[in-house]
Structure 1
Amino acid sequence: MKHEFHRGGRGSTTVNMRLKNLVSGATMDRSMDSEEKLDDVVLDRSKAEYLYENIGTYAFMLQDTYETLELSAENVGDASKYLKEGQIVDIQQFEGKFIGILLPARVTLQIVEAEPSVKGNTADGKIDKVVKLETGLELRVPGFVGQDDSIVVSTETGEYVERAK
């Protein structure tokens, strides 16, 4: 999940890491010598279409088998803020257990609630406002962006990227 390198005296380097258990979801901190090796983890991926959310459970249809799969809110995590019906995502599996989803780096979402733009707000984006997107996510955008506009959002940073073309 996260790592830092620390160079000590006489050329020794340690690596501080925050690791996540793929099965239980628990995290732990660990320090180790930079020469120490870790086992590779093989994650299988399957393409799936997002169908709907129902009381903290997210339903997907696997593209290769057309099987319906339900993942808990814990497995979906923050990705739920960017999911819309019909979207294709990668579902990760570890030892046959579905453990999470991977989104594209950017998604296009429509603004459903926004204060009207004030005359004089130009494309230089110096005035920001908060809007609500079709997924329920609230996001700070430049003042020239209005209701019913589609925008591109980074799923990595959660920030506005640009107006969709």
Structure 2
Amino acid sequence: MVEASELKSGMVIMLEGELHSVTSAGYHAGGGQQGSAVFAKFKSLKTGHIKELRLHPGNKLEEVALDHQEMEYLYTDGDAFFFMNPDTFEQISFPAETMGAYQKFLRPNMRIPVQLYEGEPVTIAFPPAVEVTIMSTPPGLHEHESSTFKAATLENGMEVLVPQFVKEGDTVRIEVASGKYLERIRRGTRKA
């Protein structure tokens, strides 16, 4: 059990018989007749719905520890995404609606940590950012300009805005949740 005042983003809590991850939690000191409170947002790991709750700082919540197992992404049939345990060859699936923004970044044979609760798959622990190759983008207007952006198509078919200096074939880091460009990855360059 964990007190509401100790909630942190990323924790997994059992609420009303369902697993929820804490997306944000903030403590607000009370004043006058208003008592102190914790305002927290919880995301259902089953449905993806968000709940916002106002809790008393002393409220006890059931924290759940999830097991992590690295699995290999196999394929999707449109309704579900299939993963395989590389050690036991056991396969599991996730409904398409639970994959959310992650599905655009999945590639066959990609290894991803899957979170399990009592042996059942709950969610995937997708990295916050992924590295993707630029397949097409127009040439930059000004080579060293970084304040204006241009459209680029990634290897997964997704379009993002990138700085002018990014070229076709470059590898860039993209934030998974928002789909925004973070940085260009430089490989094999040494500083003298």
Tell me the TM-score range normalised by the shorter chain: 0.7 to 0.9
The residue that corresponds to 2:25 in the other structure is 3
TM-score (normalizing by structure 2): 0.73
TM-score (normalizing by structure 1): 0.83
Q: CA deviation at 1:65?
A: 1.5
1:121 matched to 2:149? The reply is: no
Distance in 2 of aligned mates of 1:109 and 1:62: 24
Distance in 1 of aligned mates of 2:69 and 2:158: 26
Distance in 1 of aligned mates of 2:116 and 2:48: 13
Counterpart code for 1:153: I
Secondary structure in structure 1 of the residue aligned to 2:61: coil
Distance in 2 of aligned mates of 1:26 and 1:159: 23
Secondary structure in structure 2 of the residue aligned to 1:76: helix
Distance in 2 of aligned mates of 1:78 and 1:156: 6
Q: CA deviation at 1:162?
A: 2.1
Counterpart code for 2:38: V
Give the alignment partner of residue 108 of structure 1, picking from 119, 122, 131: 131
Counterpart code for 1:103: F
Secondary structure in structure 2 of the residue aligned to 1:59: strand
Checking the alignment, whether the CA contact within 8 Å between 1:22 and 1:94 is kept in structure 2 is no
Give the alignment partner of residue 132 of structure 1, picking from 153, 161, 170: 153
Root-mean-square deviation (Å):
2.3
Secondary structure in structure 1 of the residue aligned to 2:113: strand
Secondary structure in structure 1 of the residue aligned to 2:101: helix
Give the alignment partner of residue 181 of structure 2, picking from 137, 160, 163: 160
1:20 matched to 2:43? The reply is: yes
The residue that corresponds to 1:80 in the other structure is 103
Secondary structure in structure 2 of the residue aligned to 1:38: strand
Q: Classify 1:52/1:44 alpha carbon distance in 2 versus 1 (closer, same or farther; 3 Å).
A: same
Q: CA deviation at 1:48?
A: 0.8
**How many pairs align?**
163
Higher alpha-carbon deviation: 40-49 or 94-103:
94-103
Q: Which runs of 5+ in 2 are unaligned?
A: 1-22, 188-192
The residue that corresponds to 2:168 in the other structure is 147
Q: Which runs of 5+ in 1 are unaligned?
A: none
